[in-house]
Every structure is written in C-alpha cells, then in structure tokens.
Amino acid sequence: MAEAKDQAKSAPETHAALARKYRPQVFAELIGQESIVRTLRNAFATGRIAQAYMLTGVRGVGKTTTARLVARALNYDGPDGDGPTLDITEEGAHCRAILESRHLDVIEMDAASHTGIDDIRDLIDSAHYKPNSARYKVYIIDEVHMLSKQAFNGLLKTLEEPPEHVKFIFATTEVRKVPVTVLSRCQRFDLKRIEIEVLMEHLTRIVAAENAEAEQAALALIARSAEGSVRDALSILDRAIAYSSGKVEAGSLRELLGLADRSRIFDLLETVLTGDAGGALSALDQLNRDGAEPGQVITDLADAVHVVTVVKAAGEASADPAASEAERGRAAELAKRLSMPVLARAWQMLLKGHDEVRNSPRPLAAADMVLVRLAYSADLPPPGEIARMLKEGGSAGDSGTREVRPAPASDPKRAHAETTVHVESAVQVESENPEPGPAPSPEPVLEQVSLNSFEDLVALAETKRDLKLKNVLLDHMRLVHFKPGNLEFNPLQTAPADFAQELMRKLKSWTGRVWIVAVSDKEGAEPLGIKLRAERLDEKERELREVRAHPAVKKVLQHFPDAEIADVRSTLSDAQEDGVDGEPQKLTEDGTN
C-alpha cells in the first residue's frame, strides 16, 4: 500500500491542454468579440434579457465558452446578492460548477448525439420544473443544426413561450441549416474570426504564462495557420512548445506544420509567373524534400498572390500586418512588376489546383501539373485582349506587344519548339526612363493554311497524318465555338490533359498564326465523330432501301427468301461508273446497264 502511494506521488501530473487551461472565465477575457460583449452587457443592465440566444461562428471562436459565460451571468449570485450581470468581480455561488459543466440547472446537450424528437421531448418535460438552486434553468444545445426536423418542430412552441425560469442558448457552425422558424425566436450573435494581431497578442501572453519563449515570426505563423480560431491556435502552440523544448522558432514550426518558407514561396511565385516551368518544378520538389506538403505549397502560393494583388490594388499600407518586413518588400516588388490580369488568372488557377491536389491520390504529381499549367499560361494574353481579339476576329499575332523569339535552351520542356509566341510576358520589367526610338517590328509570319470550319481542322489533321489528334477532335471533345483564330471546346474525361496546349502548338505550326484554344465549362455540341458515324449509317440505310426496292433485287429475293443484303459496293471502274456522258449508269429492270 505504501509503495502504491509513493508511486502516485512520483507520477507526473497530467498536462492540461492550453485550450482548456486558458479558457475565458469572465467576459473580460473573451478576446475579439467586443461588440457581442457590449450588447449583452447593456441588455443585462437594462433587464432586456432574451429567452433564447443563437451563437454562430466557425470552429474555435468561443461559442461554447460564451454560452457558459452567459449561463454564469444569468445565475450570478455574488456576496451582495447581485442579480444577472456580466460584470463579475469575484466568484459566485454557482460560478465554479457552471464553468466546469456540472451544475444541475445548466444542462449542456450535444445535438450531434441527441438528434431525435424523444431527446427534445425529455428536455421539454424537464423544462416545466423549477431550478434546483439557481435563478434560471439554462439549456445549452451545441451544434443545434444537427437536430432532426421533427425535433425542431417539437421545440418551437416551448421556444416561443418558455417558462419564466428557462433560458435557451444554442451554438452552431452551420446556421444556414437551422430553420428560420427557430432563428426568428432567438437573439442571434455572430462570433467573428479573431484577427491575426489580436491572436498574436493573446499567444504572447500565454507563452509568458507558460514560462516559454517564442519568436514573433513563429507566433505570426501560428495565428495565420489557425485561420481565426483561438482553439486551433492554442493547440498548435501546445504542440510547438513540446516540439521545440520550450523555445518556439519559425524554422522548427514550419517543419512541424509542413509549411514552406514564405521567401521561398515568393521565389516560386516569381519563377512560375515568368513561364519557367522547369525551375518551378525543381523548386517544388526541393520544398517537398524539405517537408512542405504539396497541397500546402499551392495554398501558400494562392495566399502570396492574394497579398500581391491587395498591395497592387490598395498600396503597401494594406499588406498583411503579420508579415515580416522582407515579405512586405517582396510583395511590393512583385506588385510593381505583375499586371492585374495575370494575378487574377493565377488566383483562379491556384484555387482550382488546390482542389485537384487535395483530391488526388498523388498530391505531388497534381501540384506539378498545376505549376506547369500556370507557367505555360503566363504567355497567354489577358482576358481583355482576348475579348478584343474575339470581337475583331484577329489573332494574337496582330498585337504590337508580341514578339517571336527562340525558345530558351535552359528549359528542356520547350526546347523541342522552334519558336514560341510570347504574349505579354507575365512579369514586365518597367523602365523608368525608356529610350526613345521606334519599336522593333515583329518578323512577319506567312499564313499557310486557312481553316473556316471545325470540319476543315479535322481534315487538316488527317492530311498531316496526325491520327491521334484527329481521333481526339472527333471522339473526345465537344465543340462550343469555332472561329478562324479561335477555338473553344469542352473536353470529355477521356481527352488528354495537355490537349489544348498541343493543339495551339500544332495550329501555329500548320497555319502560321497564333490560335486561342480555350477549355470551356459549357456542354457544347456532341462529338463530331458520333455525328459523322450517324450520317454514314443513315446513308448506308438509304442505299440499302434503294437496292431492296430495285425490281431486279426483288426478283432475287423472291427466289432466295432467306438472303440478306449485307453491303452495297460499287465494282465499276471510274470510267464505267461515270458512263459515257459523265453520269453514273443505272441498272435496268432486268439488272443490265
């Protein structure tokens, strides 16, 4: 027995998670929700206390904590017999039990596990009884949107006319799933995400209270990764303190979270938007080897595009306050060099690419493809110029901002092309003092082939003996729009991923002009191959009907009733088929010419 007591004394104390240890005990400790606290304080002071509250917001912003604080304020019974109040200076008779979720008159229910009408019926039955010791019987229902339709309907009457001693507090992350009939009977409060600066100050206080150390850059990373959630931020901080033995540094935190260095993200962004696909792939591979997750790299690239876009649109003063001076400098530099259309296009492609990487069984390969598409789209004209070209019926080669230049030898992915058409380079180096003089005119490119219809394009592919391209054009894509110099299509799932780029290259080589080949979300027409095969079948059926109707064939079928006409083929020579006067010869009724 004595040994057991000694072992119990020597056992280490259980570590309390920071999110629980530093849960707010009074409204003064609730950070980032000043407007809600002010509204509740005024309501309590004037006696305008609602019968039901609806607390909404993303995870970790303090919905359940706020609900418990409201329940504590409703039942506060201080030394002086104070009534309901938010200004709690010392612990009352019911405070400790309410905050620890063990008070008999404050019932917490998780709607995710109590979704049915029977659970609500038990709640309604118990609501008729007066509180055991507190002033109000308070029902806190977390994730209330999980209740069934029947449960909500059963709650409506009691919610509208509850007993005087009953208060309801609901919390949810999906307020849109709560019926409007319930929302209209509640006083709603939307808890907002905690701003990065406020969250960093909160983390700084907790680090000091834990006798630990942390770099400001590391705290900024935690606040940014938490996305406005205090609970997520404290969970990350808890892991970081344990990982770094009490001293949280930005480098070790990036290793822990699988994040990339922000400066390297800006380097990667600049590389990919200059069209250097090979350099971008090498940079991504190195980031992955250093522990950065491919999906997180794509997310960080999108964040970097957002930062640069905001700086370009609203000035350097609008930069991320949690960013370092070096990051702000890079953002300002790229904002001067990148055009707004390029940034907008990069944002859209990275958003779509994020979903592809997240859902792919091979995230690194998916991220590679996103960067390749982004690099090769750097040479595309901006949307405004594409619209002008479509309106005027011109091609990309008509603009004076383009030039024909050899493909860089350092990029093996483009070395096979003799030339590449550079359409308004994504990164434009602006010269403060441009030298006067006439701009060099681009070398003329003679148009070799004229394509006036999509069928002409298919015929050209057959003439060039490119059977793979012809097969894709016929059976693996739906045409949305065709105009000389412009092709828009909707690819089937069987179409090659890089088909648009390949088609642009071949059209440039075959026709001597730059074509805009765009992938569309519109359904488009049915594949041309299906249409052509249907027409051939119709023609064959027509020929068979004509042959069956011929008197000579009818006589044959009368003698051979089981015979079938399998096919109709001409066995005449060209001269015989044309006849003497150039008209095809016809069969007479006896079967002779």
CA nearest 262: which of 313, 226, 228, 308? 308
Residue 167 has φ and ψ, to the nearest 5°, of -130, 140
Helix (H) or strand (E) holding 247: strand 247-248
Among 230-234, 530-534, 548-552, top mean pLDDT goes to 230-234
pLDDT digits (tens, 9 = 90+) for 60-89: 898 999 999 999 999 888 666 667 888 887
**What number is the average pLDDT over the span 229-249?**
87
Q: Could you give the CA distance from residue 30 to residue 25 in angstroms, rounded to a whole number?
A: 8
DSSP calls for 57-123: -STTSSHHHHHHHHHHHHT---TT---S-S---S--TTHHHHHTT--TTEEEEETTT--SHHHHHHH
Q: How confident is the model at residue 448 (pLDDT cuts 50, 70, 90)?
A: low
pLDDT digits (tens, 9 = 90+) for 335-360: 888 888 888 888 999 999 988 998 88
pTM (whole model) above 0.85: no
Q: Which fold has domain 18-190?
A: Rossmann fold (3.40.50)
| Residue 78 confidence (pLDDT) | 67
H helices, E strands: number in the chain: 25, 12
Higher pLDDT, 443 or 258: 258
Q: How confident is the model at residue 462 (pLDDT cuts 50, 70, 90)?
A: confident
Do 18-190 and 262-406 come out as alike in CATH topology? Answer: no
pLDDT at 410 over 70: no
Q: Which fold has domain 262-406?
A: Zinc Finger, Delta Prime; domain 3 (1.20.272)
Neighbours of 406 (CB within 10 A): 11
Helix (H) or strand (E) holding 187: strand 187-190
DSSP calls for 487-533: EEEEE-TTS-TTHHHHHHHHHHHHHSS--EEEE-SS--SPPHHHHHH
Sorted by where each begins, the domain ranges of the chain are: 18-190, 196-257, 262-406, 454-528, 550-593
CA distances (Å), origin 373, targets 10, 189, 217, 500: 61, 44, 32, 11
pLDDT digits (tens, 9 = 90+) for 189-210: 999 988 888 999 999 999 998 8
Q: Which CATH code is given to the segment(s) 196-257?
A: 1.10.8.60
